[in-house]
Amino acid sequence: MNGRDRRPRIEKHGTRRDGDASVMPQDAAPRVSRRSFLEFSALTAAQAAMIGARAIDSESAMAQEASSAMAQPDAVAVALDVNGAARSLRVEPRTTLAEALRGPLGLTGVKVACDRGACSACTVWLDGAPVLSCMMLAIEVGARKVVTIEGLASGEALHPVQTAFIAHDAVQCGFCTPGMIMSCAALLERNPDPTGEDVEAAIGGHECRCGTYPHVVAATLAAAKARKG
């Protein structure tokens, strides 16, 4: 070709020169390294996880707000006759008598242990009959008279059953004691001369982890005797 080679020359740096124009060959196109690809993938995954977590948190917060709104009905007015005094309070309809006595009314002599009617620690009188206050709603009481361990004594004078419990060492940890006393005192109200078996039947639903049952029976029989004397 007139003795002159017109083929484009390949430079050492991999570009093709054709006159004054420089062209990048296909095999010299920019490439993504394996490390860069992995870093980019990890960053993308982390961002997606953060977005997903925020969405879950938002949904969880909305669910909690909705649940809270459903679980907290408006308080209602309740009038109770407790230990001979008229008491007015506002409580949620789901509030048990035990919660109302211990909370707004401050009568913490009423103990709540199992909160499901299995231990009888929350026993109070309702029109003279022992009942489990954790198993009754405050709004169910109505006009019936409630007596707690705080109302059993006459001023500074303890009830004979209270005095006998102290004298016969029928008190250990004391958690079951108020309920025990209320049941034993109710027994003497309906049966002034009980037997040991009568006392055992009266406290049959009470759980005493300290095992003071024999002392409770002895104390109740002593209280019955003191009442007759």
pLDDT band at 28 (very low <50, low <70, confident <90, very high): low
154 bridge partner residues: 157
Measured distance CA(193)–CA(222) in Å, rounded: 10
Residue 10: the pLDDT is 47
75 or 35, which is more confident: 75
Average pLDDT over residues 68-92: 87
Average pLDDT over residues 52-59: 66
Q: Looking at the domain 73-151, which fold is it?
A: Ubiquitin-like (UB roll) (3.10.20)
Average pLDDT over residues 86-100: 97
Q: Is the pLDDT of residue 57 over 50?
A: yes
93's tokens = 């309809």
Helix axes 177-190, 160-167, angle to 10 degrees: 130
> pLDDT tens digit string along 181-213?
999 999 999 999 999 999 999 999 999 999 999
Model-level pTM greater than 0.85? no
pLDDT band at 35 (very low <50, low <70, confident <90, very high): confident
Q: Is the pLDDT of residue 67 over 90?
A: no
Dmax (CA) for the chain in angstroms is 149
Contact 156, 121 (CB under 8 A): no
The region of weakest confidence among 73-77, 116-120, 205-209 is 73-77
73 or 129, which is more confident: 129
Average per-residue pLDDT in the chain?
85
pLDDT band at 15 (very low <50, low <70, confident <90, very high): very low
The domains of the chain are located at 73-151, 152-229
pLDDT band at 38 (very low <50, low <70, confident <90, very high): confident
| Homologous superfamily of domain range 152-229 | [2Fe-2S]-binding domain (1.10.150.120)
3-class DSSP assignment, residue 159: coil
C-beta atoms surrounding 81 within 10 Å: 16
Average pLDDT over residues 24-51: 67
